[in-house]
Structure 1
Amino acid sequence: MSMPRSTGMNRNRIIRNGIFTALVLLLAACGAGDGERSFTGQVEGRVYSVSSPVSDRLLELSVWEGDRLAEGQTVGRIDTAALELQRKSLIAGRDQIGLQLQELTLTTAQVKDTRDYYATTYRRNLELLKEQAVSDQKVRDLKLNADKWERELTTLRIKEQSLKRQQDEIGYKLEELDLMISKATLTSPAAGYVDQVYFEKGEFVPALRPVVELVSLEYVWCYLYLGESGIAQISPGQEMTARLGENTFRARVEHINSSAEFTPREVLTPENREALVYAVRVGIENPDGILKIGMPVVLEW
């Protein structure tokens, strides 16, 4: 099962490295004012945790740290022997219920025939009673028998419904087991690099614990925090340039928060802690994976 490490079953977690929760806000050049068109932000990216839905041994591990994986590529496999035994037990129980239903069908048919016989005989003798051709006691006895077999037939039909519900419940459990067995083959949820391997082949893996952590670096982003004058210089969709040493990358403003906030405490000095700013998310194209999570990059526009 694959999911971002900060959640549980196909959701991505956006991490922020170290104590810099949002952004390292530093002027790339000389000033500290919002009028500058060059700011330094910290690269952020998407991290995926590949985990198992069941607790058991790690039978296979086919990747290692630093490997580049394609989306859907096999990472490893969890032992499913216990799940397979549960599946066989459920199938045996389902087959047993099937035999009971077959037997019940035959019994129901016999009871229905008996009920129909007494019901038909009762109606016929009821007409004869009007002509005083039969005794009143005989008619009452026939009615009692017809009612008795009607109740028996109702009981059998209720039992049949109960067995069918049990059969359906087993079917649902089998579907759940089949899903867990299929997820025991761990695959990469996206293209990326193996950043961490937490378990070795043969080790016991608790349910939902990450086995491998992947980092996707093809597209990264960073946050800028700009005041009123700075926010007036940019707009969503605006092109920017991200710079790391001699390397440059295409960047674009993806989102500007609609409400102001205090600049993150971790990146402030006492003098400017009270400044209100707007968070700006800037996406950066990183096809060669040069930028890594946590790196500072200079954004220019």
Structure 2
Amino acid sequence: METILAGILSLFVAAPPVLQGYVEGDYLHIGPVTAGELTELSVGEGDRVAQGDPLFAQDTTQAEAALSAAGEALAEEEARLADLDKGKRPEEMAALASRLVQARAALDLSSTELARAKSLVARGAAPRERLDQAERDFERDQAFLDEQTQEYDLGLKGARKDLVSAQRAVIAQRRAEILRAEKDLADRRRSAPAGGRVVDIYYRVGEVVPQGAPVLTLLPPDRVKVVFFVPEPNVGALSLGQEVPFSCDGCAAGQTAKITHIGDQVEYTPPVLYSVKFRAKLVVRVEAKPTGGALALHPGQPVDLDPAVLKTASVEGKTQ
């Protein structure tokens, strides 16, 4: 009788299936900040790099020119600040007056164009865009006239403190432009943000890389993970942080991974894992980080987890 009962129970307490899964990678897509021609490529597919190693560089001609121009503009403004202590000479006042005349002429022209645009748009003879542009030009020329008027008045009044303050603000702006130019030049060279393996390279030397497009993908060891699928009735046996053993072809013995994510939705077994045992099962996706040897794992590589990690549902209660 006991033998028959044990046989019946064995139908309900079948050994947990081998947990199937595969290796996944969260890739770093490394690309330029701005578009430009690729002039250097320091790595190849499959290379392993350390953090800070050079990856690629773009053409720096324009960035170097912009930095040089910013430096010259700063030197000019600093010279102008030093000259303010000498007082306004007649020649300088004449130059201020000339710029003021130019500003007034520009405002008169934009004012006339604004009136013409309003008339044409009102009669339907011109698109609204023309009026919008005329308004912007008028506002620009008005601001320029205000600026030149202020400079001329200050020159007449000899308000040295105001001029010095304004010039220092201009110098601060020029220094900010130098910082931006230096940053743009530095961005033309990219280094590895983390150590890892170069997986794919999408552009070669001589090709123009669009802004935002990756030149290569990098896979750091800490972004390699094991994904496996647990039958829905057994998922309660797992917990975050739990260390689970797994095996794969060519892997060293004793591989383990810590569970970092347990899915909250049930799904059918993914097609890539279809088998006679799994094809009709509802499973839950579980992710785990390898505790060692992640560099030896490759995304897409199949893995098996020991079914012993699952606590078989207690059946003794059913027999009592």
Residue in structure 2 matched with residue 144 of structure 1 by the alignment: none
SS at 2:215's partner residue? Answer: strand
Could you report, residue by residue, the CA deviation over 1:219-244 in whole angstroms, capped at 9, with x for unpaired residues? 62133454664233222332211111
Q: Which residue of 2 aligns with 1:99?
A: 79
Query: Using a 3 Å threshold, how does the CA distance of structure 1 residues 53 and 264 change in structure 2: closer, same or farther?
Result: farther
1:197 paired residue number: 201
Q: Which residue of 1 aligns with 2:212?
A: 208
Q: Rate the CA distance shift 1:228–1:287 in 2: closer, same or farther, 3 A.
A: closer
Cα distance in 2 for residues equivalent to 1:160 and 1:55: 39
**How far apart, CA to CA, are the structure 2 residues paired with 1:187 and 1:34?**
53
Is 2:23 the partner of 1:43?
yes
| Structure-2 residue corresponding to 1:239 | 243
The Cα offsets for residues 102-158 of structure 1, whole Å up to 9 and x where unpaired, read as 2223329xxxxxxxxxxxxxxxxxxxxxxxxxxxxxxxxxxxxxxx99x9254x433
Q: Assess if the C-alpha contact under 8 Å between 1:253 and 1:280 holds in 2.
A: no
Q: 1:98 to 1:245 in 2, by over 3 A?
A: closer
Select 1:284's aligned residue among 280, 284, 290. 290
Deviation at 1:298, TM superposition (A): 0.8
Contact 1:97 1:167 in 2 (8 A): yes
Deviation at 1:204, TM superposition (A): 2.1
The answer to whether the aligner puts 1:172 opposite 2:176 as a matched pair is yes
Residue of structure 1 equivalent to 2:36: 56
- In 1, are the aligned partners of 2:240 and 2:260 still within 8 Å (CA)? yes
Residue pair 1:249, 1:285 contacting (<8 A) in 2 also: no
Q: Shift in Å at residue 192 of structure 1?
A: 1.9
Return the alpha-carbon distance in structure 2 between the equivalents of residues 265 and 38 of structure 1: 13
Task: Structure 1: state its 5+ residue gaps.
Answer: 1-30, 109-147
Question: Taking structure 2 as the reference length, what is the TM-score of the superposition?
Answer: 0.60
Query: What letter corresponds to residue 173 of structure 1 in structure 2?
Result: E
Change over 3 Å in CA distance of 1:218–1:98 after alignment to 2: closer
Q: CA deviation at 1:71?
A: 1.8
Q: CA deviation at 1:260?
A: 2.8
Look up the SS of the partner of 2:299 in the other structure: coil
Instruction: Look up the SS of the partner of 2:33 in the other structure.
Output: coil
Q: Is the 8 A contact 2:41 2:205 kept in 1?
A: yes
Secondary structure of the corresponding residue to residue 85 of structure 2? helix
User: In structure 2, the residue corresponding to 1:66 is in which secondary structure?
Assistant: coil
Residues in 2 aligned to 1:293 and 1:69: alpha-carbon distance in whole angstroms: 18
- Structure 1 runs (4+) deviating above 6 angstroms are none
1:120-199 matched pairs, under 5 angstroms? 152-154=157-159, 156-199=160-203
Paired-residue identity, %: 20
**Residue deviations 1:17-65, cap 9 Å, x none?**
xxxxxxxxxxxxxx9x998263112211131222122322222222222
CA displacement, residues 156-212 of structure 1 (integer Å, 9 cap, x when unaligned) = 433332222221122112112212212322212222222222222222222332222
The match for 2:303 is 297
Structure with the higher helix share, 1 or 2 = 2
Write the deviation string for residues 78-103 of structure 1: whole angstroms up to 9, x where unpaired: 12111111111111111111122122
Q: Aligned residue for 1:86?
A: 66
Alpha-carbon distance in 2 for matches of 1:265, 1:233: 19
Q: 1:288 and 1:255, CA in 2 relative to 1: closer, same or farther beyond 3 A? A: closer
Whose strand proportion is higher, 1 or 2? 1
Select 2:266's aligned residue among 262, 269, 273. Answer: 262
**Match of 2:108?**
none
Deviation at 1:294, TM superposition (A): 1.6
> How far apart are the structure 2 equivalents of 1:159 and 1:50?
47
Contact 2:30–2:214 (8 Å) recurs in 1: yes
TM-score using structure 1 length: 0.63
Q: Which runs of 5+ in 2 are unaligned?
A: 1-10, 89-152, 310-320
User: Number of aligned pairs?
Assistant: 226
User: Is contact 2:259-2:288 (8 Å) kept?
Assistant: yes
